Homo-oligomer: A and B are copies of this chain.
């Protein structure tokens, strides 16, 4: 409230808005002037004479990006010179003459690139090269990153190759521009103005994606509207595909399995029916006529009311393979979601995907990949890795993570998600012995020549700053980096992102990287500590709702998941309970399933424990839970203090944005804490340690709060 008053009184954030209004919009590509004069001299020398090979649209895009970066970073326009004269030489390997031999890149056919500083006699030359046009574009972005992050470029020796083939955003965007679980405004796709109007935002979207190696986008919601397959909308999708092509971004569509009935007028959508097969083949051909490099289909089938092959007595492989056959002649792929969630409430929803897909292992066509969320429930603040990783040994799996913060405070909480992604990727499934991490599975190490992929549910909308929170941009950025290299380090990515987005000043980088790295654990602590999950508000998923107990079906409630009672709390997923833990390999089963091994972080995910259970800390479970909730809130307060000290290093607009958002985050974190400790106290009947501030209101107050118009309930 205080800040609003300040703004109202002195309006100070206006002062420089003319100069800074765009820094939010420009993401990590804002190309601010290089402050370090020493490296700036180096950069200017290298950029004073540039040979940039000409050719494809991708090369042109790369060329323009370098020129734009040079203007912004160094306020120079590079001089274009002959190959032999260049201090900087950029082009495909077959365009850079003798230098090719000196860079020794190895195989770069998968859009990898090389950046080398080469000494050739008396000549020193920086070479950015690749096998493919897109590789050159990636190389140029990587070269620009060197300058954005203030690196010495005197002895560059970088070779990078993407470790996955398909790196794709999933937009849960509806044709009416609502976005399911979108917290940054509405869909950036203005379908009405397409195909005639290509918004500059589409181009900048493609640039941002290419800069982090994202090479595909699924334009529409997995709860798919059939209109997307009509000729008019294919024409609109084609316009986007044309705009994205210079940046190596392929367009994909989510499709509804019943389209042959609803759109085609057929009597069935049975995947084994010949008329159905033909309908999809014809539809695929129609799409490829407009979009020759169309990526393929994403399918949510037999889940949350969506139709699917099971509707016709077939299985997921039948459905996926039929679509795969339709796409195969055009080299398209099918991403088939394993997030199945049928209308019968199972004893443990966590088990369903495994149960349905395990028997189908090895039955999917080569151009089909199964898309698996990081955990078996639904993008909770913390989940153990999905048991399908490891369980399917003959089927390519792709990881789906959620960038939009459905369960992580929408766009008002600073939560850097890379540590969450990494927690899953670094988890060891033991499927092929120790070291069979999710990341290694994702990279296809055990299934040579098959598809590899990673998907992120986009957090992008119409907000000027794209993601609603300046720091939410880091989740888009880090997704791209991690999809490119699932072994990448979350802290290093945060470091790069902070430098590119804000400043290279260490007085900013060090504390804010630290805060980013803690931020997800903070959210876990004030929302769902110790393995609690799915206790958010009903429907809108906004704020706490541990009391949710009656909304249609049991596994939509909170009580189904926390199972709190007078005896204790937690979901017993061991052999004495649902035995979901048995879906893991024995080593993991023992790790999670045996109380003495199970880490505190996963305790209540797998075990139902008494309130006075003695924790490793020596505290009772109740006291530990209370402590975690209070710790989480205190950490937000600490973060606010740290941010206040960042004012000298940040433009006033973004400083204010973040300061306000942190105040909201604090308020909401307090509400989470108070709601949860008061609610669980009704079962534990145990006191809150008096050293903690007493909740300002009683439970009834928190239960009574209503939040109409919660965003993200996009209706198709």
List chain A positions with a Cβ less than 8 A from chain B.
1, 3-5, 7-19, 21-22, 24-26, 29-31, 57, 60-61, 64-65, 67-68, 71-72, 175-177, 185-186, 190-193, 195-201, 203-204, 207, 227, 239, 242-243, 245-246, 410-412, 462-464, 653, 656-657, 660-661, 663-664, 667, 707-711
Contact = CB atoms under 8 A, between A and B. Distances in A.
Contacts of A246: 8-11
Contact of A464 (B15, B61, B201, B660): B201
Interface centre among A191, A199, A227, A707 (most CB of B within 10 A): A199
Given A22-B25, A25-B22, A412-B193, A7 B68 contact: no
Given A186-B177, A193-B412, A653-B200, A71 B8 contact: no
Contacts of A19: 68, 71-72
Contact of A68 (B4, B17, B24, B186): B17
A57 B663 contact: no
25 contacts: A1-B195, A4-B198, A4-B242, A7-B242, A8-B246, A11-B203, A14-B61, A14-B207, A17-B68, A17-B200, A18-B26, A18-B71, A24-B200, A25-B464, A186-B186, A192-B410, A192-B709, A193-B411, A193-B412, A196-B663, A196-B664, A197-B660, A199-B657, A200-B653, A200-B657
B57 A204 contact: no
Contacts of A193: 411-412, 664
B68 A15 contact: yes
Contact of A191 (B31, B663, B709): B709
Given A8-B243, A246-B11, A18 B660 contact: no
Contacts of A11: 57, 60-61, 64, 203, 246
Contacts of A207: 14
Contacts of A711: 177, 192
Contact of A245 (B1, B8, B29, B185): B8
Contacts of A9: 57, 246
Nearest to A710: B192
Contacts of A463: 462
Contacts of A64: 11-12, 14-15
Contacts of A242: 4-5, 7-8
A10 B191 contact: no
A477 B124 CA distance: 56
A204 B17 contact: yes
A4 B243 contact: yes
Contacts of A660: 196-198
Given A4-B198, A14-B64, A21-B26, 18 more contacts: A3-B198, A4-B239, A8-B243, A9-B246, A11-B64, A11-B203, A11-B246, A18-B31, A21-B25, A25-B25, A176-B709, A186-B462, A192-B709, A196-B663, A196-B664, A197-B657, A197-B661, A197-B664
Q: Taking the full assembly, how many copies of this chain does it contain?
A: 2
Nearest to A58: B11
Nearest to A238: B4
B227 A17 contact: no
Contacts of A72: 18-19
Nearest to A666: B196
A582 B71 CA distance: 67
A446 B61 CA distance: 64
A549 to B, nearest CB: 25
A176 B182 CA distance: 13
Contacts of A21: 22, 25-26, 200, 204
Given A242-B5, A711-B192, A13 B71 contact: no
Contacts of A195: 1, 4
Contact of A13 (B13, B203, B410, B412): B203
Contacts of A710: 192
Contacts of A13: 200, 203
Nearest to A10: B60
A627 to B, nearest CB: 27
Contacts of A25: 21-22, 25, 464
A203 B7 contact: yes
B203 A15 contact: no
Contacts of A412: 193, 196-197
Contacts of A175: 708-709
A47 to B, nearest CB: 16
Contacts of A708: 175, 227
A203 B14 contact: yes
A14 B68 contact: yes
Contacts of A190: 185
A246 B13 CA distance: 12
A484 B679 CA distance: 57
A656 to B, nearest CB: 8
Contacts of A65: 14
A687 to B, nearest CB: 32
A248 B191 CA distance: 37
Contacts of A16: 68
Given A22-B25, A464-B464, A708-B175, A203 B17 contact: yes
Contacts of A15: 64, 67-68
A203 B12 CA distance: 10
Contacts of A227: 708-709
A239 B243 CA distance: 40
A19 B246 CA distance: 21
Closest 5 CB pairs of A and B: A8-B242, A22-B22, A196-B664, A462-B462, A11-B246
